[in-house]
Amino acid sequence: MSGSTSALGLLERLSARLPQIMRQAMERALQDGLSLARQRMQSGQGPRPRSGRLKNSIRTGVETRGSGLVGWIASDAPYAAAQERGAVIQAKRARYLKFQVQGRWVQVRRVVLPARPFLRPARDQAAARLEAYLFEALEKELS
């Protein structure tokens, strides 16, 4: 009887701590993803940093939705989506876009920005590491 009593106690304790364990594992995985996003920018695999605004705008979070948890990694910089997915910028009010490139003025009808993903790889890495972090936390809790 004492074995089943201790197992029941362990399960009750785990049940009470499970939401916190899951949140901490998710936060840890998202921090890894955040680091990767910033590293990709520094290494030239993602958007090249100029002012640091895009890199500094990347945030992570964990929210309770219904009975589950949702983790996210995002940027609120207005040009983050164009950098992530690519974009075509066309002149709207004039015939040409005019801007400087290396000190010279140029005019073009449109500019094609290639996709330079930095958030999706970060999200994918966080998701891949979440399971390992969760198992590690559960193992620690059960020992």
Name the pLDDT band for 5 (thresholds 50, 70, 90).
low
pTM of the full structure: 0.77
pLDDT at 17: 85
The 3-class secondary structure across 96-135, one letter per residue, is CEEEEECCEEEEECEEEECCCCCHHHHHHHHHHHHHHHHH
Per-residue tokens: 66: 């219904």
pLDDT at 9: 77
Name the pLDDT band for 128 (thresholds 50, 70, 90).
very high
pLDDT in tens, 26-55: 999 999 999 999 988 888 888 877 888 999
